[in-house]
């Protein structure tokens, strides 16, 4: 029997990305199939944009964005209310050593991108760029 090669920072980060992507997929499926019985979540299309795992895989930051950014606070509150349900579902599907603690967070990257677009469209900025 061969010894397992020691985990390098690279292989560790690939594993974190893979597990994060699997968690993202499971949560997205649950939301898409409306397996969470919640009126707010049923009324909103929610995108799970990214899941970042902690190095020990015990914690997951789940970044979400309701479609068109509508009722973000309401949607986050609903997701957080059902955290235990999501944690059980993820643990059941992924067979990890530990059930990751999920933390739902707003994905702000879209807001940042639209601010950058607005800045680039500004006539003064445009003049400086050309």
**5-54 tens-digit pLDDT:** 555 667 678 889 999 999 999 999 999 999 999 999 999 999 999 999 99
Domains of the chain: 9-129 (3.30.300.20)
| pLDDT at residue number 91 | 94
**pLDDT above 90: residue 100:** yes
Q: Which one-letter DSSP state was computed for residue 122? A: S
pLDDT at residue 107 tops 80:
yes
> How much is the pTM?
0.77
Compute the mean pLDDT over every residue in the chain, rounded to the nearest whole number: 87
Q: What is the dihedral of CA 43, 45, 50, 56, to 10 degrees?
A: 30
Residue 110, pLDDT > 70, answer no
Quick one: which of 91, 81, 95, 17 has its CA closest to 54?
Answer: 17
Per-residue DSSP letter, 67: G
Burial 21-44 (b: 16+ CB within 10 A, else e): ebbbebbbebbeeeebebebbeeb
Q: Higher model confidence: residue 113 or residue 105?
A: 105
Q: How many whole angstroms separate alpha carbon 16 and alpha carbon 3? A: 22
């Amino acid at each position: 029997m061969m010894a397992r090669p020691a985990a390098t920072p690279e292989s560790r980060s690939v594993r974190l990305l893979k597990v994060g992507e699997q968690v993202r997929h499971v949560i997205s499926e649950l939301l898409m199939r409306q397996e969470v019985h919640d009126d707010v979540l049923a009324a909103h299309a929610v995108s799970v944009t990214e899941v970042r795992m902690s190095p020990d895989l015990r914690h997951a930051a789940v970044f979400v964005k309701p479609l068109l950014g509508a009722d973000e606070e309401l949607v986050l509150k609903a997701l957080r209310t059902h955290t235990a349900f999501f944690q059980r579902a993820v643990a059941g599907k992924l067979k990890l050593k530990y059930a990751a603690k999920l933390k739902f967070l707003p994905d702000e990257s879209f807001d940042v991108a639209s601010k950058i677009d607005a800045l680039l469209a500004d006539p003064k900025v445009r003049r400086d760029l050309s």
